């Protein structure tokens, strides 16, 4: 996994996006690839079937049909079309991306012992951990079948590497769990693996399958990486400042699990005294949490401007994503992809 370099702080000067306008931009993007997306959904339904193990489609359907926005496969479809692709293999690649994403969610919920995903009980809660892990493995296998069908060794290399990096990021998260000695660089490396790597692969393969010039392929990879980094930082901020309904999980879940996210790191770094440092050590490293601790954590974050600092970093990555799209001529698809950046950061408003 290569080192992750934070974007220039000057890029963070972009103004906050209007949430309604950004939602409209995402809706426009879905409309531009609607026929392709319908084909992806049909392919997903076809390939998640199993003649001999009915639990596989049961578990998969529970998560796939839980109301996710299909952001990652949409990015593949839009990237390919923006780069001039007029074939059909991008549908297979978009389904591949969604299968990889769904498999990682199934595994993540087992590792995190989660009970809620997109507002619904997790598969491991409804069935069991073994079913979630094995169905996730099945989806990974299906994703590799689809990669091969696309007939591009470079695409296979990109998506296979992304799968390895995702697993690496998850292991890094385990290794740094409850460790306040985790630095910001390690945190950025971890979220690059667990989130941004798949965003990057989703957009990069769109350019590759379209036969786009290398400069445009790399611009799409940069766009996906920066968008994914912003997406995960925003999620980490919202765990301390967003409504549960917007997240599909309970606000404060990261805190209760002792996760070392960017808001925590910034608050610990700016801890005003030994008592504050001792508080963070107790609740995060020792997982000794009591009534009122979440409120105290929020107070310390406010005192340290930790949420604002994390938001600033997210907006800097968002600006980097927008700038990468300058490699393409103006078009409705480019405008909609720019709007997706606003859609991601507008959740902070």
Comparing 16 with 178, the larger pLDDT belongs to: 178
Residues 194-235 pLDDT 10s: 999 999 999 999 999 999 999 999 999 999 999 999 999 999
- Residue 9, helix vs strand vs coil: helix
Residues 6+ apart with CB under 8 A from 286: none
DSSP secondary structure string, 319-349? HHHHHHGGGS---HHHHHHHHHHHHHHHTT-
Other CB atoms within 10 Å distance of the CB of residue 8 = 10
pLDDT of 283 strictly over 90 = yes
Residue 60 CA to residue 206 CA, distance in Å, equals 25
pLDDT at 346: 87
- Give me the percent of the chain exceeding a pLDDT of 90: 58
* C-alpha R_g of the chain: 20
Q: Is 118 exposed, middle or buried (0-12, 13-18, 19+ CB in 10 A)?
A: middle
* DSSP E strands, the chain: 116-117, 120-121
Residues 159-203 pLDDT 10s: 999 999 998 988 888 888 888 988 899 999 999 999 999 999 999
Window from 178-192, 245-259, 293-307 with minimum mean pLDDT: 245-259
pLDDT at 35: 95
pLDDT at 251: 72
Query: Contact, 310 vs 316, CB < 8 A?
Result: no
Residues paired with 116 in a beta bridge: 121
pLDDT at 11: 46
pLDDT at 158: 96
pLDDT at 163: 92
> What distance lies between CA 69 and its chain's CA centroid?
12
The Cβ-side half-sphere exposure at 311, using a 13 Å CA radius, reads 21
pLDDT of 347 strictly over 80 = yes
The Cβ-side half-sphere exposure at 205, using a 13 Å CA radius, reads 34
Query: Contact, 331 vs 325, CB < 8 A?
Result: no
Query: Contact, 42 vs 345, CB < 8 A?
Result: no
Predicted TM-score (pTM) of the model is 0.89
Residues 72-116 pLDDT 10s: 999 999 999 999 999 999 999 999 999 999 888 887 777 666 666
Residue 61: band (very low, low, confident or very high) from pLDDT cuts 50, 70, 90: confident
pLDDT at 170: 86
Comparing 178 with 250, the larger pLDDT belongs to: 178
Long-range contacts of 286-294 (CB under 8 A, 24+ apart): 287/178, 287/258, 289/255, 289/256, 293/255, 294/252, 294/255, 294/256
Residues 6+ apart with CB under 8 A from 20: none
| Residue 105 token pair | 């969610």
Residues 105-121 pLDDT 10s: 887 777 666 666 666 76
Question: What does residue 274 show for φ and ψ, rounded to 5 degrees?
Answer: -65, -35
Q: ∠ at Cα 197 (147, 287), nearest 5°?
A: 125
pLDDT at 129: 77
Domains of the chain, CATH where assigned: 9-346 (1.10.600.10)
pLDDT at 250: 61
State the chain's mean pLDDT as an integer.
86
Kindly report the length of the chain: 349
pLDDT at 176: 81
- Residue 311, helix vs strand vs coil: helix
């Amino acid at each position: 996994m290569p080192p992750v370099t934070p974007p220039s702080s000057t890029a963070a000067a972009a103004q906050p996006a209007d949430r309604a306008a950004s939602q409209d931009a995402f809706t426009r993007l879905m409309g531009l690839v609607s026929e392709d997306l319908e084909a992806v959904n049909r392919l997903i339904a076809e390939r998640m079937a199993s003649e001999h193990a009915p639990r596989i489609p049961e578990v998969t359907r529970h998560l796939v049909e839980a109301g996710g926005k299909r952001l990652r496969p949409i990015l593949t479809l839009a990237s390919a079309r923006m780069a001039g692709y007029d074939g059909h293999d991008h549908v297979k690649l978009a389904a591949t991306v969604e299968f990889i994403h769904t498999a990682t969610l199934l595994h993540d919920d087992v590792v995190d012992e989660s009970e809620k995903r997109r507002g619904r009980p997790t598969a491991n809660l409804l069935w069991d951990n073994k079913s979630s892990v094995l169905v996730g493995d099945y989806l990974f296998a299906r994703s590799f079948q689809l990669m091969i069908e696309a007939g591009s060794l470079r695409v296979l290399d990109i998506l296979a590497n992304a799968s390895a990096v995702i697993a690496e990021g998850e292991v890094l998260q385990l290794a740094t769990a409850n460790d306040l000695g985790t630095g910001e660089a390690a945190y950025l490396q971890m979220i690059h693996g667990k989130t941004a790597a798949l965003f990057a692969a989703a957009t990069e393969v769109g350019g590759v399958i379209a036969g786009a010039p290398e400069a445009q392929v790399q611009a799409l990879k940069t766009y996906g990486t920066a968008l994914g980094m912003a997406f995960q930082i925003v999620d980490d901020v919202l765990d301390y400042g967003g409504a549960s309904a917007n997240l599909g999980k309970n606000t404060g879940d990261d805190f209760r699990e002792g996760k070392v996210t960017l808001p925590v790191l910034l608050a610990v770094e700016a801890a005003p005294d030994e008592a504050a440092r001792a508080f963070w050590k107790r609740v995060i490293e020792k997982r000794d949490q009591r009534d009122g601790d979440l409120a105290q954590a929020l107070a310390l974050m406010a005192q340290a401007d930790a949420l604002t600092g994390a938001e600033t970093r997210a907006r800097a990555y968002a600006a980097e994503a927008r700038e990468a799209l300058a490699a393409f001529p103006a078009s409705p698809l480019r405008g909609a992809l720019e709007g997706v950046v606003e859609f991601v950061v507008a959740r902070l408003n």
